[in-house]
């Protein structure tokens, strides 16, 4: 299994820090919902997982997860690394195995853990977890998504395309359906899509072609979301996706997005992997540069000058909201940003290397270093003139 993270970029909207819950201890599943194309919808207790969170440093933590893997018929134990979002309402995990995991924190003793496995058709699993010795709080109403939804794809470098999503089945938080949309080359794409929706309207989904959808309901008839395609062969890694029901018109967005251009240094890094949390501190030989921003779309390049490091990696980014951005690229890595203020970002980087490796980076803007020509343009050069009290300025 694996996980994803959420980040945001400094600018217009920031994320206020929330109370950090004490997660250490044993967590057990009290219910499980699951969907796969082969098994359909299932509810039960045989597949329930348990978490042992063995270490925590602020909003990052490590532990072990035990669950019943239905395809293999075996109990599996994996190490995981996790990080909470700044507001304390969500978390991301990276496990030793495949897939991506997300969590919604209900309280300091309760959360929902969602696992997305696009490579299995897709397979979606939602666990309701409570801390040992506590009880679940009464749950609210889960929104119903069944029906046909109109779909509009907006890309940075090509015209918008349209299609539709038909959600034909929903049980509890999990739903499934099919998607048909025109690609930017004019061909029609048909894929299976399945996901979860929580009481707050937060939505996670995966498609059979390896893409992920992250969104939120706006009322009963509109979903604003980002579509992430890690490792896409044609280079379209991020898509703005607007989904509306019935004849609901697509609203004109009046949102403004933070301006990211420039170089950002890593002022602090925590490495969470192999069951350990390491405070690495400032990282002088790595930085991120942002460019080519058009509205919510932007390009990021991760630079690394460590001997033997991989070449500079270019990622495509998209703001789902002014305070939430997703990045991915050719190496299938998924990153999410959270804005702390106008000059700092917190980034949780999911390495997706099957080694339960997560970085929690604090990024701040590098100070602008003037070029030689900038310096010259700000210098007054004086020369002596024989006439009394006369000074001329060049440049």
Is residue 145 within 8 Å of 129, Cβ to Cβ?
A: no
Name, in order, each residue with C-beta under 8 angstroms of 4's C-beta and a sequence gap of 6 or more: 92, 100, 101, 102, 212, 334, 336, 350
Residues of the chain with CATH 2.40.128.120: 147-245
Is residue 300 within 8 Å of 288, Cβ to Cβ?
A: yes
Q: What are the φ and ψ backbone dihedral angles of 366, each rounded to 5 degrees? A: -70, 140
Half-sphere exposure of residue 333: CA atoms within 13 angstroms, side-chain side: 22
Taken in order 20, 26, 32, 38, the sign of the CA dihedral is positive
Q: Percent of the chain, pLDDT > 90?
A: 36
Residue 119 pLDDT: 84
Residue 305 pLDDT: 87
Residue 301 pLDDT: 93
CATH class of the domain defined by 25-131: mainly beta
Residue 354 pLDDT: 64
The reply to whether omega before 122 is within 30° of 0 (cis) is yes
Alpha carbon 14 to its chain's center: 16
pLDDT, tens digit, 9 for 90 and up, residues 125-180: 998 999 988 999 887 889 999 999 999 888 887 778 889 999 999 999 999 999 99
Taken in order 261, 264, 269, 272, the sign of the CA dihedral is positive
Q: What is the mean pLDDT of each run of 10 residues along the chain (395 residues)?
A: 35 51 90 90 72 92 82 82 87 74 87 88 91 87 93 83 92 94 81 93 91 89 89 81 81 78 95 92 93 92 83 88 86 82 87 76 84 51 43 38
Residues of the chain with CATH 2.40.128.20: 25-131
Strand-pairing partners, residue 392, are 383
Measured CA to CA, the distance from residue 384 to residue 83 in angstroms comes to 65
The strand pair at 110-117 and 123-131 is best described as: antiparallel
DSSP assigned state of 120: G
**For residue 390, how many other CB atoms are within 10 A of its CB?**
8
Residue 316 pLDDT: 92
DSSP assigned state of 144: P
Q: What are the start-end ranges of the H helices in the chain?
A: 372-377
Architecture field, domain 147-245: Beta Barrel (2.40)
Is residue 76 within 8 Å of 69, Cβ to Cβ?
A: yes
Is residue 91 within 8 Å of 62, Cβ to Cβ?
A: no
Measured CA to CA, the distance from residue 123 to residue 207 in angstroms comes to 9
Both tokens of residue 274?
């192999």
């Amino acid at each position: 299994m694996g996980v994803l993270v959420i980040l945001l970029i400094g600018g217009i909207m920031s994320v206020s820090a929330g109370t950090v819950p004490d997660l250490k201890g044993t967590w057990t599943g009290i219910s499980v919902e699951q969907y796969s194309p082969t098994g359909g919808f299932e509810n039960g207790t045989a597949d329930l997982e348990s978490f042992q969170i063995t270490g925590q440093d602020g909003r990052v933590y490590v532990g072990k997860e035990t669950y019943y893997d239905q395809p293999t018929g075996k109990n599996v134990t994996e190490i995981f690394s996790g990080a909470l979002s700044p507001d304390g309402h969500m978390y991301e995990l990276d496990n030793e195995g495949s897939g991506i995991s997300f969590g919604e924190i209900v309280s300091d003793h309760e959360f929902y853990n969602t696992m997305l496995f696009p490579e299995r058709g897709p397979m979606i699993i939602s666990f309701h977890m409570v801390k040992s010795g506590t009880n679940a709080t009464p749950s609210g109403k889960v929104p119903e998504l069944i029906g046909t939804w109109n779909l509009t794809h907006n890309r940075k470098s090509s015209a918008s395309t349209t299609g539709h999503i038909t959600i034909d089945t929903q049980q509890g938080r999990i739903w499934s359906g099919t998607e048909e949309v025109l690609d930017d080359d004019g061909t029609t794409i048909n894929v299976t899509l399945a996901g979860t929706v929580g009481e707050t309207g937060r939505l996670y989904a995966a498609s059979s072609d390896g893409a992920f959808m992250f969104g939120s309901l706006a009322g009963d008839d509109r979903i604003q979301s980002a579509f992430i395609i890690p490792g896409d062969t044609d280079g379209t890694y991020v898509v703005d996706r607007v989904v509306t029901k019935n004849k609901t018109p697509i609203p004109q967005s009046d949102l403004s997005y933070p301006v990211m251009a420039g170089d950002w240094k890593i002022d602090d890094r925590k490495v969470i992997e192999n069951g350990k949390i390491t405070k690495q501190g400032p990282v002088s030989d790595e930085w991120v540069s942002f460019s080519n921003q058009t509205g919510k779309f932007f390009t990021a390049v991760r630079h690394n000058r460590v001997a033997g490091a991989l070449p500079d990696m270019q990622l495509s980014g998209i703001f789902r909201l002014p305070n939430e951005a997703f990045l991915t690229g050719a190496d299938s890595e998924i990153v999410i940003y959270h804005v702390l203020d106008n000059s700092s970002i917190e980034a949780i980087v999911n390495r997706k290397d099957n080694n339960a490796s997560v970085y929690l980076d604090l990024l701040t803007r590098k100070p602008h270093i003037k070029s030689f020509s900038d310096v010259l343009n700000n210098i007054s050069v004086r020369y002596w003139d024989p006439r009394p009290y006369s000074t001329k300025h060049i440049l």
